Amino acid sequence: MHRRQLGTSGLEVSAIGLGCMGLSLAYGPPMDRGAAIELIRAAHDLGVTFFDTAEAYGENEELLGEAVAPFREEVVVATKFGWKDGNLRTGTLDSTPERIRLVAEQSLRRLRTDRIDLFYQHRVDPQVPIEEVAGAVQDLIQKGKVKHFGLSEAGVQTIRRAHAVQPVAALQSEYSMFSRDPEAEILPTLEELGIGFVPFSPLGKGFLTGKIDVGTTFAEGDIRNTLPRFEAEARVTNHRIATAVTGIAARKGVPPAQVALAWLLAQKPWIVPIPGTSKLGRLRENVGGADVELSADDLREIAGMLSSLQVQGERYAPQGMKMVDR
């Protein structure tokens, strides 16, 4: 797989990474540990060099650390801090410098590594000035425990303030044909500052694969059971977008997921999506998205489709939307 630079930070990664959260959390029962490790190693065999986890993803860091141990020097490992006690379910943030330092030490141990390649603030903590957050990560960088600083779901002003203290290598936020909010202000700001962009949920949490329709049910514990975009009425509207993508993919002779990922890659050369999956077949399919080229006509057709079909429903329930920095 070809590689991309995340902005001007010098951080080079595979054009498509692997989001590991779903192996342990949020999409039904956790995957069998051995099978998850095999999947991560299969991703590496397919050319993936960029792996994303977080303190808050249960045992995900330990799993990833074990999986990449045989080839640690060949990959970039990203993890995150920012939730009180590392627990997403509390809905409480904690990005105090003391907590950041503690999480770094714990993550290093769980990941079986001597440095964190990319250390993100998972969500912006309104109780802690972003300058203090950036300063704490800067200290970890100076000590060699962290290589690069990242933000997640941060707004323009937060990005600028953080970047002024410690250069931000990458912003991770939701971006796909289903979630285009970053296009208005975020992408121009990242381009100006030389910051890379890492879209999570680049397949619209599965919707853009063409495999989800009005009658699809999800397992107990699957986050999609709580998301407004997956409610019955919204699904009727949103399925039209998936259907349109499926039509474009059929004409090109590729799976819909590959069109969705190729579209993201075509937006900017410093965008690196991190689709997640628990299935080897889907992994191969996602990785293949890096080889799909969309013509100017394809991109115009997609742009026209997206302008005429509006996504219905918020990305998260109200409490989750409160955690998104504006």
End-to-end Cα separation, the chain, in angstroms = 34
User: What are 168's strand-pairing partners?
Assistant: 149
If one counts every other C-beta atom within 10 angstroms of the C-beta of residue 250, the result is 13
Q: Cα–Cα distance between 323 and 97 in angstroms, integer? A: 19
Where do the H-state alpha helices sit in 268-295? 280-288
DSSP labels, 136-175: HHHHHHHTTSEEEEEEES--HHHHHHHHHHS-EEEEEEE-
Task: Judge whether 57 counts as a catalytic residue.
Answer: yes
Q: The tokens 């709580």 sit on which residue?
A: 226
The angle, 0 to 180 degrees and rounded to 10, between the axes of the packed helices 156-165 and 130-142 is 40
Please tell me which residue in 57, 120, 175, 316 is annotated as part of the active site.
Answer: 57
User: Strand, helix or coil at 50?
Assistant: strand
What type of residue sits at position 248?
I
CA distance 124 to 228: 23
Residues known to be catalytic = 57
